[in-house]
Structure 1
Amino acid sequence: MNNPLVTIDNLTVRFDDRLVVDRVNLSLHRGDIITIIGPNGAGKTTLIKAVLGIQPATSGRIERTKGLITGYVPQHLRLESTLPLSVRRFMLLSGQPLQACEAALARTSVDHLLDASVHHLSGGEQQRVLLARALVRKPDLLVLDEPAQGVDINGQAALYELIRQLRDEFNCGVIMISHDLHLVMAATDKVICLNQHVCCSGYPADISHDPAFIETFGQSVAESLAVYHHHHNHNHDLSGSVVTQNHASPALEGTPRGCQHDHH
């Protein structure tokens, strides 16, 4: 097996006296899509910021492969509303040439927005522009915080499918946060349920049966996911239109790992 892009060993993060991330262990390889789920305040964003190196750990270790190139899609884009800024200029702020920026925008189907103002983009357009900016350096690792934020249901499915395609094209690893549990179960390879510590982790087909998952999200959510199967003969493009296809995604197999300590 290839060496991991990122290895997290017993990572703990505290804000003053508040425990935010508690002794998390994780490794991520090229080709992995790992999705972190959990309730609000579970430490999900703090964990991925630690992966990015912008949130220092209180204790534990994060090891990144040498020369790791990372692309990051934040949950929100915060820009000064009075600052004139086109998509072209926003992309060029990445430090990459215009040709590379245009190619990345084309890959996420928003190259037609090159001269649009970033302040006037819809939620879905903004997320695709942010994804393009994350891709422009051809990352080894994509880190996505709620990548389908502000996108309608058909657009969400298309966006998650695009992420899988990009994983294959770039041979990169992907770690993302999502609350879209039904869609994520079809789009990810592995799920990690975080509530400060790792409550449970495993393949999507199995995770909904784990007692720690049921405790966190409730029996009704677990049951709805248990009977949910994402098999169809079509996809949606980024505008939500149906695109037919003749193959189904392969089924995933595996066994979740349960939490190793008691819940209170």
Structure 2
Amino acid sequence: MISNIPILKVEGLTVYLGKYLALRDVSFQLEPGTNTAIVGPNGAGKSTLVQAVLDLIPRSSGSIQIFGRPITRLGHLRQQIGYMPQNFIFDRSFPISVFELVALGWTKKGSWANKLAAVEQALMRTDALHLRNQAIGTLSGGQFKRVLLAYCLVAPRQLLVLDEAFAGVDAQGTAEFYTLLNQIKQEQGWTILQVSHDIDMVNQNCDRVICLNQTVVCSGTPEFALSQENLLATYGPSFTRYHHQH
């Protein structure tokens, strides 16, 4: 059942990285079941915003609530958040298989048979079951993104946060991933917050857009937020919009 309580509510968020003002007075909220993209130029604070929302870095002022609770008092509800970072840094020689990595996302109590079934179902859903015995260090960028999505899918989640999750994936792979993501969103009732540089893909696949440049320049539907006027206000006069060729 979808609640009327916002999945995420950010009010007056300000973040300093040392003496550098990274975010200033950022406010927005995510309604249940929506797919919201954060767009903006390099250095706009997009990744900083995601990290602050997840309580990975300290904030200078402002409040963050997830599922109606302060971020510092989520407790077991943290397990309801899936996170795919832009760069997943690991030792590529570390001997862990795709199956073993996805199994780490299982948070339920239950039998090994239940865990096995959940992992295989998640890998099947993300078209990665054939990779189950492969070492994660041997995966391509696109394959690894699918495996990370399976990790998020193996246990119930309410909020999925993607920080440039499609970086390093070609246009066709990105389009396929968005299709898969939207299918799973509909099936699972996920609320999605994603950082993206791909304006066309955001326009085609997201419900809401936040234009960010240290503070919120504008927010709304893709039709409104991604208008030429708002993009120029966000990116500056040198902005040129790139369109995919299909």
TM-score range, shorter chain: 0.7 to 0.9
Give per-residue Cα distances to partners, 1:216-245, cap 9 Å, x unaligned.
Answer: 1547635x67xx9x9x9xxxxxxxxxxxxx
Equivalent residue number for residue 131 of structure 2: 113
Partners of 1:20 and 1:42 within 8 A in 2: yes
Equivalent residue number for residue 84 of structure 1: 95
Task: Could you list the structure 1 runs, at least 4 aligned residues long, displaced by more than 4 angstroms after superposition.
Answer: 217-220
Q: Return closer, same or farther for 1:8/1:113 CA change in 2, 3 Å cut-off.
A: same
Cα distance in 2 for residues equivalent to 1:27 and 1:187: 19
Equivalent residue number for residue 221 of structure 1: 240
Partners of 1:142 and 1:173 within 8 A in 2: yes
AA of the residue aligned to 2:5: N
Equivalent residue number for residue 248 of structure 1: none
Residue of 13, 17, 20 corresponding to 1:18:
20
Cα distance in 2 for residues equivalent to 1:162 and 1:52: 24
Equivalent residue number for residue 241 of structure 1: none
Q: Relative contact order (C-alpha < 8 Å, sep 6+): which is higher?
A: 2
Residue of 82, 94, 98 corresponding to 2:105:
94
**Residue 210 of structure 1: how far off its partner (Å):** 5.4
Greater fraction of residues in helix: 2
AA of the residue aligned to 1:54: L
Equivalent residue number for residue 73 of structure 2: none
**In the alignment, is residue 198 of structure 1 matched against residue 216 of structure 2?**
yes
Cα distance in 2 for residues equivalent to 1:72 and 1:117: 21
**Residue 95 of structure 1: how far off its partner (Å):** 4.1
Partners of 1:127 and 1:149 within 8 A in 2: no
Unmatched runs of 5 consecutive residues or more in structure 1: 233-264
Partners of 1:140 and 1:172 within 8 A in 2: yes
Q: Normalising by structure 2, what TM-score?
A: 0.85
Unmatched runs of 5 consecutive residues or more in structure 2: 70-76, 108-114
AA of the residue aligned to 2:139: L
Partners of 1:200 and 1:213 within 8 A in 2: no
Residue of 42, 46, 49 corresponding to 1:40:
42
Equivalent residue number for residue 7 of structure 1: 9
Q: Normalising by structure 1, what TM-score?
A: 0.79
**Residue 82 of structure 1: how far off its partner (Å):** 2.8
Cα distance in 1 for residues equivalent to 2:223 and 2:106: 41
Cα distance in 2 for residues equivalent to 1:219 and 1:149: 23
**Residue 185 of structure 1: how far off its partner (Å):** 0.8
CA-atom RMSD, angstroms? 2.1
Equivalent residue number for residue 70 of structure 1: 81
Q: Aligned pair count?
A: 227
**Residue 90 of structure 1: how far off its partner (Å):** 1.2
AA of the residue aligned to 1:73: M
Cα distance in 1 for residues equivalent to 2:179 and 2:106: 28
**Residue 21 of structure 1: how far off its partner (Å):** 1.1
Cα distance in 2 for residues equivalent to 1:56 and 1:220: 31
